[in-house]
Amino acid sequence: MANNSNSTDKSQTYLHHQIEEYVKFVNQVIYDNDFLECIKKTLPFDEIVNASMTMLPDKQIIKKMGVNVMRMDFEPALFSLAVSITIDKGSNQLQEYTTFITACKTIVELQDYVKDPQFREQVTELFSKSFSDSKKCNNS
């Protein structure tokens, strides 16, 4: 029983560390000039601009974490933001979970949003659920 608890603690520590790295990543990307230029060129509901970070080493459960921005309107220029996580389910099967977590925001509002502790809390809740769901599937 203690071994299972220790494994769970390690998984939670790993997930928490990855989420902290991810939040830093999103805060860098949302200010990146190339990323912002790509966003400005999109048409409403036409395409999604994505940036993702790949996890190393290759044997980790979480393979990739990303941020997606979609333009919703021209004037004022409004956008929605989604977060995504790709998890290795084993046997060369990957599962991606993507959730839009805010909408109808200007770029400045999105930049403020990802700095807010609420963003970290939402990401932690969503990714923890995805991670937990994935582990349940692996153990069945």
Query: What is the residue-level pLDDT of the chain in tens, covering all 140 positions?
Result: 445 566 677 888 888 899 999 999 999 999 999 999 999 899 888 889 999 998 877 668 889 999 999 999 888 899 999 999 999 887 778 899 999 999 999 999 999 999 999 999 999 999 988 887 776 655 55
Global pTM value = 0.84
Q: Whose CA is closest to 98, among 88, 84, 86?
A: 84
Question: Could you tell me how far CA 63 lies from the centroid of its own chain?
Answer: 12
Non-local CB neighbours of 62 within 8 Å, separated by 6+ positions: 15, 18, 55, 85, 86, 87, 88, 131
